[in-house]
Structure 1
Amino acid sequence: MNPERYNNNSQTNPRKRPLVEEPNNDKQPITLNSMVVAIDHSNLFYTVCSICEKTLPEPSPNTHISNSSSSSSSSIPFCKNCNFNSASSGSKRLFRVLMSIATEKRVVVVIMFDRAARVLFGCSADEFFDFAKTHPFAAASAGNALEGEMLKITLSQPKNGNARHLRVVSVFPLRTGFQPVIETLRELYRARGGS
C-alpha cells in the first residue's frame, strides 16, 4: 500500500471539518473573501436571559397557543442559570444565522452569531423581529437582499464540540454601496406603500 495515497484519502474524508484544504491546520481563525449563496431565514434568532445571557428554552412557537393543557405560565422561558423567570427579568433575542458561502474553492455552510450578524442586518435581533411582525416576509427578503453579497469574513472552529458548522467571527462587506439589510427593507416597504 502506498502511504502517500493513504494520506491523501484521509485528507478528503467527508467527516473532516470544511475548508480542510485551506492552510490552517492549527485551528486558528482564517480570513477569506466569500460570497453569500443563501441564508436560512426560517430561524434567525434564539432567546437569551437578559441578566446572564444564557440560552433560554424556546417558548411556545411564535406565541401560538400550546397544544398541551398546561397553564400559560409554563410556556414562559425560565432561566435555570440565574433562577429568574424571563417574564419578570426580561429576555432578549440574539441573531443566529445559518448561511451558505462560496469561497474560491467550495461552498460551505457557516453560522453567524449576533455580533457579526448585526454588521449585515444593521439592527439588533429584537428590532428585526419587531419589524418582521409587521412585515411577514421580511426574513425571506433579508435572505434575498444578502444573496450575492461579497464579504471578507473570518472563520473559526466552533467553540462547542457538538457544533457542526464553522463560526463567523467577523464580517466586512466588500461592496462600496453596501447598506444594512434593515435599511434595504425599510426602503423596499416604503416604495411598496408600507410603513
Structure 2
Amino acid sequence: MSKPNFIAITAANCPTGSRQGALEEMAHFAQECRESGAVRVTYGSVISGRHPGALIFVQFFDDLTGFESVMNMIPKSSAYSRMIDSHAVTPFSRNLFRGKPIEFEPKLEPMPKYLMLTRAHRTSLDEAEMLGLLNKTASVFKASGAQTMRMGQVLTGSDLGKYMLGVTYPDMSAIERTYDALAGNADYAQLVNGVEIDMRSITKIAGIL
C-alpha cells in the first residue's frame, strides 16, 4: 500500500439524536470523496478525550490536487448538504497534515474498530530524532495489535507545526496491551520525554473506504 503524503482531519459537532443519520450520510460522503481524489477515508465518533461525541472524518491524499478536488466537490455534494441541513452537523475544525515516514506495514482486515489520535509538539528533540524513536517503537505497536500507524505535521488549520499520530486497533484490549508494552520501552520513554502531548482521544470507527 502506498503511503499518502497528506492527511485532512475534519471534526464536527452533532446532536445526539442526529448522530446515526449523520454517520449514514458520512458513508455516502466518503464514497464521493474517494471518487473525487481521496485515496482512503476513515470516519467515526469520538468516545474519549477532547470533544466526546464529535464526529471525525479523516481523508488521505497522494497530493494536494486530490485535496483541492474534494474541496471543489463539497458544495455540490447532496450527502454533505444533508449532514448540515438535516442532521445539524457543524464542522469546527479542519486541519491538513503533511505525512511523515513511519515504517509500519498496515493490516486492514478485519476492519479496525478504534482510532487513537495523539497530538504533540517537539520540546528537546529535533524532527529526525523524534521520527527515529517513533520508528523504533513501531514494532511494539504492531506486536501488541495495532493495525495501522500514521504520523502527520499540521500544515494548515489550528495548532500549526504540531504533530498528530494516528493508530488504529481491532479492539480495546489491543490498546491496553500496546500501552502496557510501551510503559517499559526505553525508546518510547525517550520519545515522550522529548515532546509535550496535549491531546489524546479515541474514536470509534464507523467506516473505512
> TM-score, normalization: structure 1?
0.31
Higher strand share: 2
Give the number of the structure with larger relative contact order, counting CA–CA contacts within 8 Å between residues 6 or more apart: 2
Query: Over alpha carbons, which structure has the higher Rg?
Result: 1
> TM-score, normalization: structure 2?
0.30
